[in-house]
């Protein structure tokens, strides 16, 4: 990739991050060219240059969110000890919890984007692709952890794990749980399989 293309991609990601911050703090209605420009510290014209519509801004923010979460999961997998009983599965689930500022931003924006995807069909498919990728990753890691599991068991247990993860993540965001408690709940759930 050329330097100019890299700069363009970096600028678009900076704008996408500004969108995520706006969504996380003020909701979807806050996303406008002017608000994104102010949040990113650039001109409104620059935002319009990269994104011809508000929908294009939101689509890019969803893809950026998926990449940010993916990088967190990849980092967690690299740090997983190979001697642990279920390192990949547990480390992946823990990486998906909103345990630091970046993860809380992503989780809060992700929940707002989910609500938006329910009513905006142009965003729906992009959001669903990310959810399918998460499901596939967790299912694959679960199959490595319990290779004897049937397809039905793998599907049901993957949904159960993702549901538990969502509930624990919500409790973290709401302040009902502290990070160590949330992490312990996820570990206990995997150990119970």
pLDDT digits (tens, 9 = 90+) for 124-139: 888 888 889 999 999 9
Whole-angstrom Cα Rg for the chain? 18
Task: Name the helix (H) or strand (E) containing 183.
Answer: helix 179-191
pLDDT at 128: 87
pLDDT at 84: 59
Which domain range does residue 123 map to? Answer: 3-191
pLDDT digits (tens, 9 = 90+) for 83-127: 555 678 999 999 999 999 999 999 999 999 999 989 988 888 888
CA distance 18 to 12: 10
Structural domain tally of the chain?
1
CATH number at residue 132: 1.10.357.10
Of 140, 110, 139, nearest in space to 127 by CA? 110
pTM of structure: 0.86
pLDDT at 83: 58
The pLDDT > 70 percentage for the chain reads 95
pLDDT digits (tens, 9 = 90+) for 48-97: 999 999 999 999 999 999 999 999 999 988 887 765 556 789 999 999 99
DSSP per-residue string spanning 10-76: HHHHHHHHHHHHHHHHH-GGG--HHHHHHHHTS-HHHHHHH-SSHHHHHHHHHHHHHHHHHHHHHHH
CB count, 10 Å around CB of 156?
Answer: 12
């Amino acid at each position: 990739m050329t330097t100019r293309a890299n700069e363009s991609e970096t600028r678009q990601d900076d704008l996408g991050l500004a969108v995520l911050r706006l969504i996380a703090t003020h909701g979807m209605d806050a996303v406008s060219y002017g608000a994104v420009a102010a949040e990113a510290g650039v001109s409104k014209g620059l935002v319009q240059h990269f994104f011809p519509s508000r929908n294009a801004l939101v689509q890019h923010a969803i893809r950026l969110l998926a990449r940010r979460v993916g990088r967190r999961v990849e980092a967690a997998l690299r740090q997983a000890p190979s001697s642990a009983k279920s390192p990949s599965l547990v480390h992946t689930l823990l990486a998906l919890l909103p345990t630091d500022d970046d993860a809380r931003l992503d989780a809060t924006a992700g929940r707002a984007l989910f609500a938006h995807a329910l009513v905006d069909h142009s965003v729906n498919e992009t959001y669903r692709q990310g959810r399918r990728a998460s499901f596939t990753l967790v299912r694959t890691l679960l199959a490595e952890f319990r290779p004897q599991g049937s397809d039905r068991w793998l599907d049901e247990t993957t949904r159960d794990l993702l549901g538990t993860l969502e509930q624990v993540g919500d409790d973290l965001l709401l302040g009902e749980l502290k990070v160590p408690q949330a992490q312990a709940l996820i570990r206990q759930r995997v150990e119970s399989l």
